[in-house]
Amino acid sequence: MPIKKITINSVKNMLSGETLWDTEVKGFGCRRSRDVRSFILKYRIGTGRGARQYKFTIGKLGSPWTPDSAREEAKRLLGQIAQGKNPAAGRKREKTASDIGHAFSQFLEESNGKRTDRTRNEYHRMFEKYLKKDIGGYRIGDVNKQDIQRILTRLSASPIQANRLLQMLRAFFNWCEQEKHRDIHTNPCSGINKHKEKTRERYLSEEELQRLGAALLAYEEEQKYIKPMKHQKKPDVPELNTVTPYVTAAIRLLILTGARKNEILTLKWEFVDFERRQLRLPESKTGEKVIHLSAPALQLLSEIPRIVGNPYVICGKNDGEHLVNIKDPWGKIRKTAGLEDVRLHDLRHNFASIGLASGLHLKVIGTLLGHSQIKTTERYAHLANDPLQTANEMIGKRIADTMMQRPGANNVVSLPKS
């Protein structure tokens, strides 16, 4: 993570998800999450390897906190820490009897570094949409099993979303117990079963893949230049659409690697290892991850234009940023290909299905997809060729091909003696 003196300019120029550490006061930093910039202090209590690390949020940029005032506060807190006091513990005690809303904010804050930014953002979204108005004002100890079941019942038509919410709530209340905000073994999610999820599997045939390839080429040609609005005069010299190559490159990389959408959209050049033929991601849905690259994927990456000052492979419209959304372009491309029912994530399933149909083992496919558990890959098991059937087909084809040949010196097959 970058280390430089924290000033008003350096803070304002931070990218979303970036953390900046100060050169003047050790442990003092600033973290940006979406449009919010928060001053933080990282410190340890104790000595040696067993010393526990803490992160304390001083406050958000804006009245009363500026880089200078936050730095002075960090110095004051470090003085307390040197005397054996723990600012984070004091704040936790203040919030022990607080409501769900305050506790959830603290839960997200302390999960920084333990969970990915994407997961934390999704947790925040679910809290705002499903929990804030319902139980956000409840005291932590007052939430019971009936409250959780009531919330989940409203999502019975969306079983996958209901299960993700239950998973988050279970983790949150486990944390509440660990922090002594609730009595131990009182998690209100205990004993609540997940909804049954209907797995949706969509794979592309060879003919469909050919249509998709043609549709990508057609999109590149159609979107090569920026089209003026109806009220605008047609320019004498058409202006190139600089985003189009990155849109189609992103989709082709999804097809060729089986990666997740955000893994490709947020890919940086520093993660691309051409020599080892790998993408080495420091952070993904399942933690650190290596994505292996085939020759076509390497060729595609080598042809993607790089923009000076932009660290991302799939560049967006704004300087220094990556492409955020390819939903609309994908909608046009799949419509052209006659594949309206195919989602971007289905390209990942398709990658797995082709591998299994080619005789690759489930474990190999799981490694290529970055699955942390073989159980996740087992959903594709029915696609794998039955080895007995494969052997039977091979023997039958050999016999049939031999019988179709005319007797002659050059094509007589010697059958083994019994």
Top-confidence residue, 84 or 239: 84
Residue 168 to residues 21, 86, 105, 162, 163, Cα–Cα distance (Å): 30, 28, 13, 10, 9
Task: For 345-391, write each residue's pLDDT tens digit.
Answer: 888 888 877 776 666 666 766 667 765 565 555 555 555 445 555 55
Confidence category of residue 394, pLDDT binned at 50, 70, 90: low
Residue 392: pLDDT over 80: no
CATH class of the region 8-95: alpha beta
Task: For 46-63, write each residue's pLDDT tens digit.
Answer: 777 777 888 888 888 887
Helix axes 327-336, 206-222, angle to 10 degrees: 120
* Residue 348: predicted pLDDT: 84
Where does 206-383 sit in CATH, by number? 1.10.443.10
- Domain segments of the chain as ranges: 8-95, 101-178, 206-383
Share of the chain above pLDDT 70, in %: 78
Confidence category of residue 3, pLDDT binned at 50, 70, 90: confident
Where does 101-178 sit in CATH, by number? 1.10.150
Task: For 150-184, write each residue's pLDDT tens digit.
Answer: 999 999 888 989 999 999 999 999 999 988 888 88
Tell me whether strands 36-45 and 272-273 are parallel, antiparallel or unpaired.
unpaired
* Residue 235: predicted pLDDT: 61
Confidence category of residue 200, pLDDT binned at 50, 70, 90: low
Q: Please state whether the predicted TM-score (pTM) of the whole model is above 0.85.
A: no
* Unique residue bearing structure tokens 């999960």: 111
* Residue 87: predicted pLDDT: 83
Q: Helix (H, G, I), strand (E, B), or coil: what is residue 62?
A: strand
